[in-house]
Structure 1
Amino acid sequence: MIVNSPRFDLVVVGAGIVGLAHAYQAARAGRKVLVCERSPRAMGASVRNFGMIWPSGQAQGFVQEIALRSRDHWLQVAKGAGLWHNPCGSLHLAYADDEMQVLEEFVQFGASQLDVRLLSRDEIAARYGAVKLDGLRGGLFSSEDVCVDPRQSISEIPAYLQREFGVEFRFNTAVIGWDAGVAKTSRGDVSASHLLVCGGDDFQTLFPETFDSSGLIRCKLQMMRSQPQGADSQLDVMLAGGLTLGHYASFEACPSLPALKQRFARDLPDYKRWGIHVMASQHGTGEITIGDSHEYFNLDSPVPPFDRDEVDSLILDYLNTFLNVPDLKIAQRWQGVYAKHPEKTFFVAHPAEGATVVGGVGGAGMTLSFGLAEKIIKELN
């Protein structure tokens, strides 16, 4: 039986950032949209991250274009919804000659779509008091990267979409089936032209056979957040240490990167073992978000719910090599789990008539969400 009778053009499953972005793009295109979220509020990977909109870390070409489009939409949404956001850019720091060489090569080979420039030690010292100067060779500043507060964003974007675009939300409502024009939910059936599944790492509820053959894996990460910092401990930029050069696809164009990765593996084996690279972002509350690690699991392997003290200690030890914040105290620790594909930037499938699955964006969900959604919604049209 069809309940709540208005027919929707699109039912979006999941109110994390990927689902919200698709609801936004569909509503902007004139579609009548319903978002169903099984929880009182999305509390998965979309709120357990740095809040970094990070085009500078994405692979050159198509993916970086999506990231830059996503950034533009983020700025519009943040302004419209009254969200705290800071277009402060990012700063990759180099404390070794081989790290600095990769940054120099990036400007030459990998930054054609970006506004980036190298900064000297003295320039960094003059601008960013929270950066440690001992051993600093220089850094790479990327102006397009933007910081948002993921907790505020995921909490407040739904009201903005409802107010500005008429998007309807039903929280505490799971979508448990799809039958060509009918979304079966835990609170009754809903008539719709299309179903769009943005369920994060939920691979069991809808179209499990599609996920079984998708090649997707799960990634568990550990992160921390400091107590609010005072006016004398403001970062004024998002920071990344040398290890990050081996993590993001944008640096793959740098000829000396393989040698740098070999040094990291030789000299920092525990960091390689736990997939650690270290970054820091600061939100309007003054808290500093710190992370992170990466442990990978196949879909048939359970993700342990227990954090490792060793991993947190390694992260903080490395952070201490470049961040100068006296008496930094950790107020919160958590783990996140997201889905990613080992080879693809994102995963899209059409498992049934009128149904599309979008996911597998890995740790780039905040960065790619609005740009990817723009692409998917255009294709659905």
Structure 2
Amino acid sequence: MSAKVLIVGGGILGSMHAFHAVQSGHTVVQLEREADARGASVRNFGLVWVSGRATGADLELSLRARELWERVAESVPGTGFRPNGSLTVVTDPAELAVLEQVCARSDAGLRGFELLDAEGVREHNPAVRGDVLAGMLCRQDAAVEPRLVPRAIRAELEKSGRYEFHAGVEIAAVDDVPSGVLLRDSTGKTWSADQAIVCTGAWHNGVAAPWLRDVETVPVRRVRLHMMQTESLGETLTTSVADADSLRYYPGFDVPALSVMPAQEPSARQWGMQLLMVQRNNGGLTIGDTHMYDEPFGFDVEERPYELLARKAERVLGHRIPRIERRWTGVYSQLAPGVGDSVSGAVGQGIYYHREVVPDVRLVTGPGGRGMTHSPAIAEQTFKAAGLL
């Protein structure tokens, strides 16, 4: 049965919901309060990251998303999807012990893990010429071009004749109507549909504010990160690359050996830092990142994290990184620890926040750093929950 679906938000979650809706035969109107997506959806690595996902529902969702990303890329090659895999490199025997235990788990095959010695790392990714003891290849990891994805999806959907995108529209309220939904924007204009999906990301104010505060504990928090991009590397970084600090951050690496890893450098611990590097389709490197949880976040960009990240990247590559072209911070919405599914009526398996806030209106937010990875599978789950499949 075809329906008219109103989607609020032009980021990756909103765009993937729009894609799934049109692919399922529905008519879609998508609204974005900015001129274009400007939040965490375009300020990230573009990683489709299976390797670090927690065993269980998180891993299952990421594997489904990885499969769906392949299908999206077939329809929308402009996403820049590439199954390049990843290498997590280590320099210390205690770090290597973590990789050995991770690769010995029963789900290692599902993730496409393979343990490599230093020579194997360089054979698989010749651009990694630093002092590396070993590395773990994850064949399931992939990458997309985050700055291009929302526009590429919109351009493809416009060909269907069942899709409209409206920029500069901020929804302010939901009106009570006998059937369907009626949303009112900040100018007073109304937008009607059979169902609405609200994906406003880290914008916890506006129309989402009362829904996020009508429960005992606010279910989501905001996280700030630092990232940068360089000029062309001049050679191919054949995989995405992570350092040993990512083992501390991602739940998929929670094995007994993790507790005896060397302590993180104080400065890296202060900034919640891990090294991730992804090569863009223009040859430049996206390098990050940090994690800051205590609001209010500063309005300025601090230089120290970038210096630390540059040094980390140079140790892995074995030489100076190219000139930095741009730096930025971003803020994403993350499911608050210990909340999420404990809220009455919420779904999302403790991975993201999804609740039918009023009849036929669903709020979907809080995937955190998983947003790019999980977005197609989250959209699929939304449409199943809404009875639109």
TM normalised by structure 1 equals 0.91
1:302-333: CA deviation from partner (whole Å, max 9, x where unpaired): 22121111111111122222123545211100
Q: Specify whether residues 31 and 279 from structure 1 end up closer, same or farther in structure 2 by C-alpha distance, changes over 3 A only.
A: same
Partner of 1:100: 96
- What are the residue-to-residue correspondences of 1:203-282 with 2, within 5 Å? 203-212=204-213, 213-230=217-234, 233-252=235-254, 254-260=255-261, 263-265=262-264, 268-282=265-279
Distance 1:64 1:163 in 2: 34
1:19 aligns with 2:6: no
1:118 aligns with 2:115: yes
CA contact (8 A) 2:7 2:17 kept: yes
Distance 2:319 2:184 in 1: 51
CA contact (8 A) 1:9 1:32 kept: yes
Q: Specify whether residues 93 and 47 from structure 1 end up closer, same or farther in structure 2 by C-alpha distance, changes over 3 A only.
A: same
Partner of 1:286: 283
Distance 2:256 2:358 in 1: 44
Give the total of aligned pairs. Answer: 364
TM normalised by structure 2 equals 0.89
1:237-272: CA deviation from partner (whole Å, max 9, x where unpaired): 1000010111111111x1111222xx324xx11111
SS of aligned partner of 2:293? strand
Distance 1:168 1:51 in 2: 25
1:12-49: CA deviation from partner (whole Å, max 9, x where unpaired): 11010011111122222222211101111111100101
CA contact (8 A) 1:207 1:351 kept: no
1:266-293: CA deviation from partner (whole Å, max 9, x where unpaired): xx11111110000100021101000000
Distance 1:318 1:27 in 2: 43
CA contact (8 A) 1:8 1:191 kept: no
Partner of 1:314: 308
Distance 2:165 2:3 in 1: 12
For residue 132 of structure 1, the aligned residue among 125, 129, 134 is 129
Partner of 1:341: 335
For residue 35 of structure 2, the aligned residue among 33, 40, 50 is 40
SS of aligned partner of 1:30? coil
Distance 1:209 1:248 in 2: 31
Shift of 1:218: 0.8
Shift of 1:76: 2.0
Shift of 1:159: 1.1
CA contact (8 A) 1:121 1:133 kept: no
- What are the residue-to-residue correspondences of 1:142-153 with 2, within 5 Å? 142-153=138-149
Partner of 1:175: 171
Partner of 1:60: 55
CA contact (8 A) 2:4 2:193 kept: yes
- Equivalent residue letter for 1:341: L
SS of aligned partner of 1:195? strand
Gaps of 5+ in 1: 1-6
CA contact (8 A) 1:340 1:362 kept: yes
Distance 1:130 1:165 in 2: 45
SS of aligned partner of 1:140? strand
Distance 2:121 2:184 in 1: 56
Partner of 1:3: none
1:193 aligns with 2:194: yes
Gaps of 5+ in 2: 338-349
Distance 1:245 1:101 in 2: 11
1:210-229: CA deviation from partner (whole Å, max 9, x where unpaired): 22343311111000000123
Partner of 2:151: 155
- Equivalent residue letter for 2:287: I
CA contact (8 A) 1:91 1:142 kept: yes
For residue 26 of structure 2, the aligned residue among 23, 31, 34 is 31
1:363 aligns with 2:369: yes
Distance 2:212 2:247 in 1: 31
Deviates further, 220-229 or 208-217 = 208-217
- Equivalent residue letter for 2:224: K
Distance 1:332 1:36 in 2: 29
Shift of 1:165: 6.9
Partner of 2:346: none
Identity %: 29
Q: Specify whether residues 210 and 66 from structure 1 end up closer, same or farther in structure 2 by C-alpha distance, changes over 3 A only.
A: same
